[in-house]
């Protein structure tokens, strides 16, 4: 309901189950600056994770401060069905799980997307247990100042960060590894992770087709690598969806289709009935020469998508030299220039939303 300039949302306590004492959040949604739609979207990949450990409240707040249009999150689930922001199926790489002797016996091996994977799996921990852990940067060459200080956050907390912003900030959540989640998490009443995901979005008022009045008030793109998940939620919501496309060698986790199959004209015709765009790994759009370090000729994927009125939001743009091809002379601004003006993409996933925002602001004044 509306009270003055605030949208009131009641939410259940997230620890343990969907039941619990209600908490009251106030989000100032009126009189906010609208999201820009006249230049490619700046999507903060896991927040401003080039500076701050990924998928943390601080990383998302920093991304908003730096000018991101959307904040992006990987939504996965705990043992007790709490949806959280966390990319990996295991906790080993970006948390201090190894420093917690009480969890030593939780190490396990599961089949994950066609391969055996060993580690401390998120699905084997309750949300309360995960709150004991602290996060760290994924890459050792990034600022370690916040390592060991920040916690895993819930999907609901992620949403609240966007809604609390002083301007309109969109959210870009991914239904992460739904096949694995639905196999290893015991959802109540025969539900799926997609159902829980959508219940939370509906609770916070996310709805409406792309560019509709509802969407403009609370912008969202829902993304997934699993086409059947996107098809499933199409029966629940008309919010815009993005089909993520992995590297050449990776098959779809749910339908076991190859890269060639899901980027064919026939499949783009089919999936365009369910999505407004695709999110490919950028090296599949303009492949690099692994010997020379320079880019080769661009494929026709962007033009083929655009001819079907599909947006293209490639991932992931990173400032460090390790990720920049030699064409760009170790300059991330040259890379932005190429992808926006030559390749003509409609949005960019970046670990450094501040850099992309500055580039776009400078170019908008030309």
Q: Evaluate whether 139 touches 46 at the Cβ level (below 8 Å).
A: no
Contact assessment for residue 192 and residue 212, using Cβ atoms and an 8 Å cutoff: no
DSSP state of 163: H
Paired with 27 in beta bridges are 7
Please report whether residue 19 resides in a domain: no
The answer to whether 137 touches 144, Cβ cutoff 8 Å, is: yes
* Residue 22: predicted pLDDT: 38
226-278 pLDDT per residue, tens: 999 999 999 999 999 999 999 999 999 999 999 999 999 999 999 999 999 99
Domain containing residue 352 = 33-87+153-364
The answer to whether position 185 is within a domain reads yes
Angle at 8 between CA 58 and CA 68, to 5 degrees: 35
Residue 124 lies in a domain: no
pLDDT digit string (tens) for 56-83?
999 999 999 999 999 999 999 999 999 9
* pLDDT for residue 11: 42
Q: Which helix (H) or strand (E) holds 196?
A: helix 193-203
| Residue 234, domain CATH | 3.20.20.190
**Residue 16 covered by a domain:** no
**pLDDT at residue number 31:** 73
Q: pLDDT at position 33, please? A: 87
What is the predicted pLDDT for the residue at 1? 34
Please tell me the predicted confidence (pLDDT) of residue 364: 81
Q: Coil, strand, or helix at residue 356?
A: helix
Domain-embedded: residue 127: no
CB 4 within 8 A of CB 23: no
Task: Please give the pLDDT value at position 30.
Answer: 59
Beta strands in the chain (DSSP E): 2-3, 6-12, 22-27, 41-44, 70-77, 83-85, 108-112, 115-119, 170-175, 222-224, 241-245, 277-280, 311-312, 347-350
Structural domain includes residue 171: yes
Q: Domain count of the chain?
A: 1
Distances (CA, A) of 142 to 42, 51, 52, 152, 358: 21, 7, 8, 19, 20
DSSP per position, 230-299 = HHHHTTT--S-EEEEE--TTPPPTTT---HHHHTSHHHHHHHTTT-SEEEEBHHHHS-B-TTT--B----
| Token code pair at residue 137 | 């940067």
Q: Residue 28: exposed, middle, or buried by beta-carbon count in 10 A (0-12, 13-18, 19+)?
A: middle
Give a yes or no: residue 104 inside a domain: no
Q: Evaluate whether 347 touches 321 at the Cβ level (below 8 Å).
A: no
**What predicted TM-score, i.e. pTM, was given to this entire model?**
0.93
**Rounded distance between C-alpha atoms, residue 268 and residue 145, angstroms:** 44
Residue 99 lies in a domain: no
- Yes or no: say if 133 and 33 are a contact pair by the CB < 8 Å rule: no
Positions in the chain whose pLDDT score sits under 50: 1-24
Mean per-residue pLDDT of the chain: 93
């Amino acid at each position: 309901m509306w009270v003055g300039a605030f949208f009131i949302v009641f939410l259940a306590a997230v620890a343990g189950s969907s039941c619990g004492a209600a908490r009251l959040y106030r989000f100032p949604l009126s009189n906010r600056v609208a999201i820009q739609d006249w230049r490619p979207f700046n999507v903060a990949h896991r927040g401003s994770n080039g500076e701050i450990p990924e998928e943390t409240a601080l990383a998302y707040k920093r991304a908003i401060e730096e000018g991101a249009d959307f904040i992006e999150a990987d939504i996965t689930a705990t043992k007790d069905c709490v949806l959280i922001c966390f990319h990996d199926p295991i906790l080993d790489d970006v948390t201090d799980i190894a420093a917690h002797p009480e969890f030593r016996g939780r190490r396990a091996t599961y089949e994950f997307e066609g391969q055996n994977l060993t580690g401390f799996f998120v699905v084997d921990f309750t949300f309360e247990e995960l709150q004991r852990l602290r996060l760290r940067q994924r890459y050792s060459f990034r600022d370690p100042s916040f390592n060991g200080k920040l916690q895993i956050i819930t999907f609901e907390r992620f949403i609240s960060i966007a809604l609390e912003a002083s301007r309109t900030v969109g959210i870009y959540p991914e239904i992460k590894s739904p096949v694995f989640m639905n196999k290893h998490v015991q959802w109540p009443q025969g539900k799926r992770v997609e159902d829980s995901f959508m219940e939370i979005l509906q609770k916070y008022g996310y709805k409406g087709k792309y560019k509709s009045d509802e969407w403009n008030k609370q912008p969202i793109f829902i993304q997934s690598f699993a086409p059947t998940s996107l098809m499933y939620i199409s029966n629940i919501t008309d919010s815009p969806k993005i089909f993520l496309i992995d590297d050449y060698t990776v098959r779809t986790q749910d339908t076991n289709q190859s890269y060639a199959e899901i980027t064919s004209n026939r499949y783009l015709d089919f999936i365009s009935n369910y999505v407004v765009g695709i999110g490919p790994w950028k090296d599949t759009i303009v492949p690099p020469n692994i010997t020379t370090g320079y880019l080769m000729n661009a494929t026709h994927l962007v033009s083929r998508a655009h001819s079907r009125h599909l947006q293209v939001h490639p991932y992931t743009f990173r400032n460090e030299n390790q990720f920049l091809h030699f064409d760009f002379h170790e300059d991330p601004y040259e890379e932005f220039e190429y992808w926006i003006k030559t390749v003509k993409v409609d949005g960019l996933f970046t670990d450094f939303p501040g850099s992309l925002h500055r580039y776009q602001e400078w170019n908008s004044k030309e």
